[in-house]
Structure 1
Amino acid sequence: MTAPLPESVVTDPHGVYTELRESAPVHRFRLPDGATAWIVTRYADARAALADPRLSLNKRYAADGAWKGFGLPPALDTNLLNMDPPDHTRIRRLVSPAFTARRIEALRRDIERKAHDLLEPIAAAGGGDLVRGFAAPLPVAVICDVLGIPADRRADLRGWAGTMLAPPADDPAAPARAVASLIELLTTVIAGKRAEPGPDILSALVAARDDDGDRLTEDELTSLAFLVLVAGYENSVNLIGLAVLTLLRHPDQWAALRHDPALIPGAVRELMRFEPPAPVSIRRFATVDLEIGGVRIPAGDTVMVSLAAADRDPARYPDPDTLDLRRDTSAQLTLGHGIHHCLGAPLARLEAEVAVGAVLRRMPELKLDVDDATLRWRPSFRSRALLSLPVRV
């Protein structure tokens, strides 16, 4: 009988994944939703798996009962996280120009202004919840600006995303309501872009859909907007919260950044390696029988890569459990590898760089305002999400 994934993976993911990585390269577990999955833990195997075309993101390759994740309607599910080439290649090519490093860098000044405005009331009050007051509203404002979503439609986005990622046990209908709300929002906004296009990404995607109808279907358009919105927001919220918490836990590294802010870009990459916002990759399905780390994976089975385990593999990074902001973090897997490497990686890194820099400048003596052990986390092994981060200035 397949053992359940240890419950402690939520509160102590690195402890769990270190033990797994040291004991075997691949493990099979029963996930909280009842499905079973193989979890890959070692860097070399993980990197190869992420780029292996025999591991498909398309759920049609899943064996019966192999995956029980929350299902989305076609209007949201026809996205890059459920596609392989050639559709994946076609859609990614359409949206990639909006996420080039040069175009994202042009957003820096506006993100800096937003970060400053959000930190001011926290600093003035002598402290507060850095997740609710800063780490959450900053990415939602940025990604909604990038997409061109009106300010008056943004308030409920975090609640909807959280409900979908960690459904409340006492309200089984909540995810369906969140999905319906997101579809209504995106449908309304897309209609508005058709009537009055703007300089935003969503207007460009609408034009790509309408100018040449075989490039994007209507479901692909809506699903792509959904993916950019939810993934771009959720991962950045978690990344910013984790980055600040990790620095507070390592005062020597905090002091090093205060002394030399030029270290921030490299520091963000090391913080992502050390505490990834998504400890495991999106699920993949074996299209044929294959081997990973000497373990046979039958066709149709679900495979997940433990990014948290792989990026702390001592075979790739010496002394991996030590936070070293000057470390060479090249080839880390936090944002994926291969054709499914995170499309929004430049934006995620920029937001984190700006957020960390703003906190260091405005709140150089920041301290955690609760016992570390009492911090609350979203009860999900798929995301490393702080529910709050009480701090004092």
Structure 2
Amino acid sequence: MNSTTRFKLSAMMFLEFFIWGAWFVTLGAFLNNNLKATNSEIGSVFSTQSWGAIIAPFIIGLIADRYFNAERILGVLHIIGAILMYQMYSAPDVSVFYPYVLAYMILFMPTLALVNSVSFNQMKDAEKEFANIRVFGTIGWIIAGLLISFAFHWDSPEGIQAGLLKSTFLMAGIASLVLGLFSFTLPATPPKVAKDEKIKVGDILGLDALKLLKDKNFAVFFISSILICIPLAFYYQNAGLFLADIKVSNPTGKMAIGQVSEALFLLAIPVFFSKYGFKKTIIVGMLAWAVRYVLFAYGNAGNLSFMLIIGIALHGVCYDFFFVSGQIYTNSKAGEKFKSAAQGIITLATYGVGMLIGFKVAGLITDMYKTGDVTDWKMVWIIPAGIAAAVFLLFALLFNDKTKSEIAAKAV
């Protein structure tokens, strides 16, 4: 890969995840403070990510893979996304905001696959080259959080009171417009499927991979993956709102610690796999969810703020040791024929069905423990900690896959 192509792909990844991190982290606090949304309404807004994940395969399978170059679709989707971002910035209440955010997420979620497709198309050895490109996405997310907290102070108590959180949508919209226009300069990534070739809905959704559920251990992993998304949804929906509500300074910047942790622990997965195997690696990830929520439940913005920082820093263990490990495990069990289908069905199950249930539950629970403007955050975090602990026990007792050496070899 030449230096010009490497720069373009790195910039693409940076902007892709800068856009997402520029508004999604502070979304809960924005909805609560600017639009006065209930927690159930906040849950519905966050669930648009799940609807986007469910619809995304159809956009990729029926359009991107058949008719147009991936980089051109990426450009069009981000230009439309910039317009929708401005509409979200201008929305006076959640009823007006919701249709725009739903439309945006339906268009944005496919771009996550498109940036990967554009990248892979330029690589001779994706296993060695992709990580060096993808890391710029993590950097983009981190930079967005640092700008919000330390450069613009939009998430400070004064900034929130002044309604400045809505400015995140302008920043994301500008970045989306830049990426939309920049996408047309990216290397050509033509369709992989002939226009007249028949594509079945089952192929798009990867339904053939459901045959893997005949394996008892994979079925346990599959169900656990859906269930663990319930506590995961609590983090995405409530963490930013929680930190802002208890007056933690620079909350968005501090949450960027989670992305730094994610990048670092990604490097530790091969070591854990080779030494401890898949089961022990993934149960550490599950247990970390329970631990982090206990830390959130009992920490505060004062003398126990270190508990909150540790909880945020555990994001790398929580996410990488479960979700990334799960992707590697799925890849090893699927075989050559069902690899893509298996990854698709896991993504649909987790970010689609699992998160959809999770955001609904998170909204109901948070509303249940909110009286007026006061939220009992201790209970809001104890409940997902209990759910994560229950999933941990379910997986630890029922999963008994012995294929340690095979999976470890694929991870290294």
Q: What TM-score does the superposition give when structure 2 sets the normalisation length?
A: 0.29
Structure 1 or 2: larger helix share?
A: 2
Structure 1 or 2: larger strand share?
A: 1
Q: What TM-score does the superposition give when structure 1 sets the normalisation length?
A: 0.30
